[in-house]
């Protein structure tokens, strides 16, 4: 165990004064009430890497709920949320500092790939860290008075951070939780780390022999979302090259991550991650299992529509191109372009997508066109002219309508 590294200075420089004050209160209370508490997981990893800290996670050796009640009784914090079965607590300290407290726990996976069942709450820190995914996420920093700031490293995580290595803690890791395969991708892309050879081998084994359907798809979806939202081309290239896409029964397209990033940067879609994912995922069962929102799901149905109903050809007019893509989500148009490399979706994205008729039905009524059908036809005529560039401004539209009425 490497306990020589002390990060007290790093804590002071990288965390805000308010967070440090909250941690010091926790530390004093732990000392008085004889608890052992530690910063744990991502916060430790990111402190060592000098990265921005997203969440403050503290683990309590014992019962975090009881510990937080002591803090709350002393008016150090307010308890915001409690999860009773796991004994985890979200608490708010002065100046809105939020800390997530977890009780140390050991877990057992009753069925491969399913959520774990907690076997013991209040185990030792060492027992707790072995349920985790990678050595770089199994590090703790003591918040206890006798060794405040010491890094507790049972699994060689500090060395792995130095060597930019992603290493699972045991051979069964991916069987227990296949979403870790995507987590490896996320950390590899975000931190520019690499999986060690053994971890690669375990992943390969899982993807070739041990796949199964009844796994926690919501975890996999959440990790894919985090990974592809990074908009890092390498994540996508690795996703294909490492066969990770097989986890979601994807189809391997001939696309490079950089092509997707270039499109995404240019057209800023709402769902960046789904442009990446949509080029690979077509399997209906998985699409259902991901429980997408209505807007997310539309991207996949639009993509299928575009792929299966193409009536465009080299001579299609701007109007025909516009009509084909008009009602489709911009993400699906991008996916369609990436998969087919046709020029029409690019013409649409580049030139036509932004074109709108500015006059509306009421405007036309005021100008004397009263019949609903005629209004629709006139709006369509205006659109045709706008798409050819013969009409540009609202004043042009009005002029055109007046001419037609005459």
Task: Compute the least distance from the CB of residue 337 to ligand CTP, in Å.
Answer: 30
Count of residues that bind ligand CTP according to CB under 6 A: 10
Give dist(CA 32, CA 49) in Å, integer.
Answer: 32
The tokens for 344 are 């029409």
Site for ligand CTP contains 153 (CB under 6 A): no
Using the structure block, give the residue that is written with the tokens 């409690």.
Answer: 82
> Which residue, 61 or 397, is less far from ligand CTP as judged by CB?
61
Site for ligand CTP in 46-75 (CB under 6 A): 54
Give dist(CA 62, CA 19) in Å, integer.
Answer: 23
> Which residue, 103 or 179, is less far from ligand CTP as judged by CB?
179
Site for ligand CTP contains 137 (CB under 6 A): yes
> Which residue, 132 or 303, is less far from ligand CTP as judged by CB?
132
- Nearest in space to 274 (alpha carbons), one of 328, 330, 324: 330
> Which residue, 183 or 221, is less far from ligand CTP as judged by CB?
183
For residue 165, how many other CB atoms are within 10 A of its CB? 19
For residue 216, how many other CB atoms are within 10 A of its CB? 16
Using the structure block, give the residue that is written with the tokens 């726990």.
Answer: 105
What one-character DSSP code corresponds to residue 36? E
Site for ligand CTP in 169-198 (CB under 6 A): 177, 179-180, 183
**How far is CA 377 from its chain centroid?**
44
> Which residue, 206 or 324, is less far from ligand CTP as judged by CB?
206
Task: Compute the least distance from the CB of residue 164 to ligand CTP, in Å.
Answer: 16
Q: Which stretch binds ligand CTP (CB under 6 A): 70-78, 130-138, 151-159, 347-355?
A: 130-138
Give dist(CA 21, CA 15) in Å, integer.
Answer: 10
Residue nearest to ligand CTP (CB): 42
- Nearest in space to 387 (alpha carbons), one of 359, 349, 363, 351: 351
Give dist(CA 282, CA 270) in Å, integer.
Answer: 20
Site for ligand CTP contains 132 (CB under 6 A): yes
Lay out the site mask for ligand CTP across 16-45 (x = CB under 6 A, - = otherwise).
Answer: -------------------------xx---
> Which residue, 189 or 299, is less far from ligand CTP as judged by CB?
189
**8 A C-beta contact, residue 239 and residue 245:** yes
Task: Compute the least distance from the CB of residue 42 to ligand CTP, in Å.
Answer: 2
The tokens for 134 are 């990678």
Query: Which residues are near ligand CTP by CB under 6 A?
Result: 41-42, 54, 132-133, 137, 177, 179-180, 183
């Amino acid at each position: 165990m490497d306990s020589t590294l002390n990060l007290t200075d790093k804590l002071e420089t990288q965390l805000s004064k308010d967070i440090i004050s909250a941690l010091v209160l926790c530390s004093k209370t732990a000392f008085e009430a004889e608890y052992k508490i530690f910063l744990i997981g991502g916060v430790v990893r990111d402190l060592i890497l000098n990265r921005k800290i997203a969440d403050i996670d503290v683990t309590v050796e014992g019962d975090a709920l009881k510990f937080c009640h002591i803090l709350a009784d002393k008016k150090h914090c307010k308890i915001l949320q409690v999860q009773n079965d796991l004994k985890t607590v979200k608490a708010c300290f002065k100046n809105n500092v939020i800390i997530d407290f977890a009780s140390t726990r050991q877990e057992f996976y009753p069925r491969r790939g399913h959520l774990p069942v907690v076997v013991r709450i209040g185990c030792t820190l060492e027992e707790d860290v072995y349920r985790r995914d990678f050595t770089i996420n199994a590090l703790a920093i003591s918040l206890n008075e006798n060794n405040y700031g010491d890094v507790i490293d049972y699994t060689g995580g500090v060395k792995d951070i130095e060597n930019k290595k992603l290493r699972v803690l045991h051979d069964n890791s991916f069987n227990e939780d296949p979403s870790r395969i995507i987590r490896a991708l996320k950390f590899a892309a975000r931190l520019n780390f690499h999986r060690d050879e053994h971890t690669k081998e375990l992943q390969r084994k899982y993807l070739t022999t041990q796949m199964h359907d009844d796994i926690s798809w919501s975890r996999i979806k959440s990790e894919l979302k985090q990974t592809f939202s990074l908009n890092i081309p390498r994540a996508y290239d690795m996703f294909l090259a490492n066969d990770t896409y097989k986890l979601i029964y994807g189809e391997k397209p001939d696309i490079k991550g950089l092509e997707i990033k270039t499109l995404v940067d240019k057209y800023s879609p709402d769902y960046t991650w789904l442009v990446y994912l949509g080029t690979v995922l077509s399997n209906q069962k998985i699409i259902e299992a991901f429980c997408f929102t209505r807007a997310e799901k539309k991207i996949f149905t639009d993509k299928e529509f575009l792929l299966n109903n193409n009536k465009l050809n080299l001579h299609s007019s701007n109007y025909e191109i516009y009509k084909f893509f008009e009602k489709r989500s911009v993400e699906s148009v991008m996916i369609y372009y990436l998969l087919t490399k046709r020029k029409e979706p690019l013409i649409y994205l580049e030139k036509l997508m932004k074109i709108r008729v500015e006059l509306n039905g009421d405007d036309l009524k005021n100008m004397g066109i009263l019949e609903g059908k005629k209004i629709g036809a006139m709006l369509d005529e205006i659109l045709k002219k706008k798409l050819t560039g013969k009409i540009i401004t609202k004043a042009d539209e009005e002029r055109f309508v007046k001419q037609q009425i005459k």
